[in-house]
Structure 1
Amino acid sequence: MGTAPFRSPPPSFPATAAAAATRRPAGGSVHSWDLSTGVDGPGTRFTAFLAGCPLRCLYCHNPDTWRMRSGRRMAADALVAEAAKYRAFIAAAGGGATLSGGEPLLQPVFAGELLHRFKHELGYHTALDTSGFLGARATEALLADTDLVLLDVKSWDRALYRRLTGRDLGPTLEFARRLADRGSTVWLRFVLVPGLTDDPANIEGVAAFAASLGNVERVDVLPFHTLGAAKWEALGRRFPLRSTRPPTAERTAAVRAVFAGHGLRTV
């Protein structure tokens, strides 16, 4: 396969988010699912990765989830039945179900149905892993069925955010404030990338914003890694941060201390 540019242009979206959020799909595009512990919410989780994402993050470790056509079409019944297979195990081990991606809010009606059924039919604690860029597509019903939002705030610097993702930071901040206003529980995620997101002013900006919200239960400072590089290569793309090394343990601890200094619990 030939070498393509390191990022393809992000897809465009309907101007009216409400219209996109009310279409009733026959199903949805699902990339994969698995069981995880401690990384996609509390306890042992059934995590479903929906296909399609509006961001093109330089450090993305799942570029194979960018396009909806990369997934397989599934009815909600089929995915709920798959999640139900682990019901006894999840009940014993603690946990629930998480929608990740990709970006679940690219398929808001499908995501809303899944969260509702995971919560009310299976009795699972529910979590939504999102960049927040499409937060306007999340209906109040969807958020009512979401026990925890895993919100990725990739940068406080708007120019850097656009460089990192190809998108504007504004919608994520608006969604974060909406979640705070309604009292939704949030775990904020921040990826520490040497030479990009590790500027002290950038870290301080994210930390101060998170502390101002009042609903951030914890902050996950995630050290950059190159584990997704092979996926970029398999897609015929060069991993743009192939020369970037992960942050040291000492640097990661220092960044966590900045968030802790704002009264936030860090992991």
Structure 2
Amino acid sequence: MKGIIHSVETCGTVDGPGIRYVLFMQGCNLRCQYCHNPDTWKLTDGKEMDTEILIKEIVKYKPYMKSSGGGVTISGGEPLLQPEFVADLLKKCKKHGIHTAIDTSGFIAIEKAKPVLDYLDLVLLDIKSFNPEIYKDLTSVSVDPTLKFAKYLNERNIPIWIRYVLVPNITDNPKDINNLAKFLTTLNNVERIDVLPFHKMGEFKWEALGYEYKLKDISEPTQKSVTDAKNIFKKYNLPIYGLTDITENEFVKDNSVV
């Protein structure tokens, strides 16, 4: 099975538990204003790879995965835009006893996602905002499919880690965060919530591609604002990650992924 990919990270540490082989797929149906990899958007800009070749490379890193409790994460772009390829690769991973995860926006028809979900141990689910208007403005699409996807994952009892990017004056509204927290309390499969501080590390890519970077005047959030957001989730007894003693190193680590 062949698919179009963007790049590979062989020893990732922020895309799921342990040390992970991270495959970044090409193509995305969102246009997030803070995206740090806009070069993944167009499917035609990637390179073709075969799952047979990939799995031979992946198993070379199995000792690192086993010792660290890691595995394989398929990210993007949006991995669920190429469900047949992703399902085939994950199936091969499971045959080798490798922990599997995807990082997704959940903006996908559930029927198309089902073949992938059959071979998943974990979903990293990016919820950009719970406010429908803000979500649409921030991503160019509706939040409804993502929320339906979250509910379906709960029905399937597939563990999820929620990723929430904190953008000052956009996604840091306490009311919106409270509403998201209330929604998450209705799910039984949320294992972890990451509040990821907005950063501008991808701004130069936007400029190189000739895109307008609309958030150039937005500052990165303070550590206090990140802690305040985390405290809202804590108020609902949700499994918020890294709430206390936020060190500079942890702040940079959280800052590395959106």
Partner of residue 6, structure 2: 31
Q: 1:136 aligns with which of 98, 102, 110?
A: 110
Partner of residue 49, structure 1: 24
Deviation of 1:153 after TM superposition, in Å, equals 0.7
Deviation of 1:88 after TM superposition, in Å, equals 2.1
Q: 1:179 aligns with which of 111, 136, 153?
A: 153
Extract unaligned runs of 5+ from structure 2. 242-258
- Aligned partners of 2:144, 2:215: CA distance in 1, in Å? 25
State the Cα deviation string for residues 131-162 of structure 1 (Å, max 9, x = none): 00015244444212100000011111111111
Deviation of 1:38 after TM superposition, in Å, equals 3.5
Does residue 68 of the first structure (1) align with residue 29 of the second (2)?
A: no
- Aligned partners of 2:45, 2:97: CA distance in 1, in Å? 30
SS of the residue aligned with 1:102?
A: coil
SS of the residue aligned with 1:60?
A: coil
Partner of residue 18, structure 1: none
SS of the residue aligned with 1:167?
A: coil
2:169 aligned partner, one-letter code: G
Extract unaligned runs of 5+ from structure 1. 1-25
Give the TM-score normalised by structure 2.
0.90
Q: Is the 8 A contact 1:43 1:96 kept in 2?
A: yes
- Aligned partners of 2:154, 2:63: CA distance in 1, in Å? 33
Question: After TM superposition, what 4+ stretches of structure 1 lie above 6 angstroms from structure 2?
Answer: none
1:71 aligned partner, one-letter code: G
Does residue 79 of the first structure (1) align with residue 54 of the second (2)?
A: yes
2:81 aligned partner, one-letter code: L
1:189 aligned partner, one-letter code: R
Deviation of 1:208 after TM superposition, in Å, equals 1.0
Q: Is the 8 A contact 1:35 1:46 kept in 2?
A: yes
State the Cα deviation string for residues 28-74 of structure 1 (Å, max 9, x = none): 00110103444100000000000000000000011010011111011
For residues 111-126 of structure 1, what are the structure 2 equivalents within 5 Å? 111-120=86-95, 122-126=96-100
2:231 aligned partner, one-letter code: A
Give the TM-score normalised by structure 1.
0.87
Does residue 206 of the first structure (1) align with residue 180 of the second (2)?
A: yes
1:92 aligned partner, one-letter code: S
For residues 207-226 of structure 1, what are the structure 2 equivalents within 5 Å? 207-226=181-200
- Aligned partners of 1:43, 1:137: CA distance in 2, in Å? 30
Q: Is the 8 A contact 1:135 1:172 kept in 2?
A: no
* Change beyond 3 A, Cα 1:163–1:46: same
2:236 aligned partner, one-letter code: H
Partner of residue 252, structure 2: none
Counting aligned pairs with the same residue, the percent is 45
Deviation of 1:85 after TM superposition, in Å, equals 2.1
1:252 aligned partner, one-letter code: V
Q: Is the 8 A contact 2:78 2:105 kept in 1?
A: yes
Deviation of 1:248 after TM superposition, in Å, equals 0.3
Q: Is the 8 A contact 1:27 1:110 kept in 2?
A: yes
1:142 aligned partner, one-letter code: V
